[in-house]
A and B are shown apart, each in its own frame.
Chain A
Amino acid sequence: MKMAEILKNRQLQIAVMALAFLLVFVPYFIEVPALEAASTKLITITAIVNAVTLILALQSQVRRGLNIVQRRQTGWYFKAYMIITMVLMVVFAFFGRETGPYHWVMYAVVNPLSSVNYGILAFYMASTAARAFRARNTQAILLLTTGFIVLLYQAPLTGAYAPWLEPIALYFGDTFGMAAGRMFLISVTVGAIVFGVRVLMGKETSVLGVGKEEV
């Protein structure tokens, strides 16, 4: 059997994954210095491998982008722009990052563009909130009333002149808001644990990049 076929073996891949999992998981509960050292080494190796994958991602993006540009597919000029800016930033970085062209692009182009993108969101959010909050039924009235009180409290001036509003707004946050936040976090965590168990049982092979998951 060829080496490539051995490495593609699903059982072997799951076994390696399970071993890696145990190596990182067990030291949280059992104090064995040798095991902890091995676990730390494995984590550092993973961090380095992850960093190297950035180079792979760069190469893959450039190859895909060039392919689209050569075929003049829809929006090819965006890909051309992406490749040019990517290459330029890499070249600029060689001239130093504290001054020079890299520094200029970072503060005169990236910073304002990123900030504008974020600022525009405020307009959409305001418009959506103004148009979506309608007292259509009892639930909507409850939501609207709560939102109204919290929004009023969040305006800094209100807090200064209407301190009586603070306990009411904080009550909503510390009870209903906190409960919803906890429910969300617990659900996500339990979901992640279930997913992990399914992966280790070989029922979620999508993470290995092969096959479809089993029900």
Chain B
Amino acid sequence: MSDNSLMKTLATYDRRWVYLVLFLVVVGPLLRPIGMPISVSPDTKQYYEAINSVEEGDKILFTLNTEFSGYNEIQSGIVATMRVFIEHNTKICVAVGHPEATGIPELVFNQLRSELDANGYVYGEDYVILGYVMPNEASVASMSQDFQGAITQDWLGRSIDDTFLSEIHTWEDWDLIADFTTGLATTYLLNHFALRGTPMTVNCIGVMIASQKPYVDSGVYLAILQSMRGGAELEYLTGHPGPGLTAMDAFTFGHYMLLLFIIAGNIGYYGYTRQQKRGGE
């Protein structure tokens, strides 16, 4: 292959090569994890400290503002955070912001069955699943100002009167909001809970990080957990490896592959595309 044809290949490669290589570098490590070391970012340490500071009996609103799709990106953070809350014997209320997410609590609790049993968790006494209760701003505002007026039953129609939720009336009664989000009702929770003073943490997908970090910097959020990478770091800190850490090998290879394609594309750009443009001038 001549230099020119190599440069041309680098500059004009078919995008399907990217798809193929990405598929291979992601599927390979997922099927056979290597267990590469990872570093823990300062944001994740701050998040871990925030969720680890909850006390027994604290009432936590655990909000899943995600669909099944986004759940795959942040499930490691969801499960690891829930595990910390269960180990601290907190009272957990799960609410969701998307109809699909009504199926997520089961996926989460199924992974934590042994922790629930070990800590004697009983449905109603220690945790409640409300289901889809946050479709819009009015609903969230209503939950924040008059919880008993807005919510009367759980997602299967059972009354919440005899549960720990009977002690919740306004935003002031929650000790923490742990939000897991692809961007659905998070702004409403921010407006009607966090900005009023309810402590709040957030675990968001990658594309939301830039828009959510200013709220950590200004003190509105206690901390932020960034995407799947943050979830993996949290699994590492809690000492319970899970889907996040398993995915980190593929995550690393995927990033390196992308960097190599960018380098190759730029070599091709300078070696071929630019020359062609100059030749045409």
Contact = CB atoms under 8 A, between A and B. Distances in A.
Contacts of A114: 67-69, 100
Given A106-B103, A129-B262, A123 B22 contact: yes
Tell me if B's interface is mostly helix, strand, loop or mixed.
helix
Interface string B216-230: 010000000000010
A196 interface: no
A159 interface: yes
B214 A115 contact: no
Interface in A107-138: 107, 110-111, 114-115, 117-119, 122-123, 126-127, 129-131, 133-136
A118 B71 CA distance: 10
B114 interface: no
A105 B26 CA distance: 28
> Which of the listed residues A126, A148, A163, A181 has the most CB atoms from chain B within 10 Å of its own CB?
A126
Contact of A97 (B142, B145, B156, B262): B156
B248 A156 contact: yes
Given A111-B68, A135-B266, A43 B135 contact: no
B251 A47 contact: no
A105 B247 CA distance: 27
B210 A123 contact: no
A118 B70 contact: yes
A174 B214 CA distance: 9
Interface stretch (B33-41, B52-60, B83-91): B33-41
A154 B255 contact: yes
A8 interface: no
Nearest to A24: B141
B242 interface: no
A182 interface: yes
B163 to A, nearest CB: 18
Given A110-B68, A130-B18, A156-B38, A148 B259 contact: yes
B42 interface: yes
> Which of the listed residues B150, B261, B262 has the most CB atoms from chain A within 10 Å of its own CB?
B262
B100 A40 contact: no
Contacts of A133: 262, 265-266
B24 interface: no
A46 B141 CA distance: 10
A161 B254 CA distance: 17
B73 interface: yes
B5 interface: no
A180 B214 CA distance: 10
Interface of A: 36, 39-41, 43-44, 46-47, 50-51, 54, 97-98, 106-107, 110-111, 114-115, 117-119, 122-123, 126-127, 129-131, 133-136, 144, 148, 151-152, 154-161, 163, 166, 170, 173-174, 177-178, 180-182, 184-185
Interface of B: 15, 18-19, 22-23, 26, 36-39, 41-42, 67-70, 72-73, 100, 102-103, 106, 135-136, 138-139, 141-142, 145-146, 149-150, 155-156, 210-214, 217, 229, 232, 248, 251-252, 254-259, 261-262, 265-266, 269-270
7 contacts: A47-B141, A47-B150, A50-B138, A133-B265, A156-B37, A157-B38, A178-B214
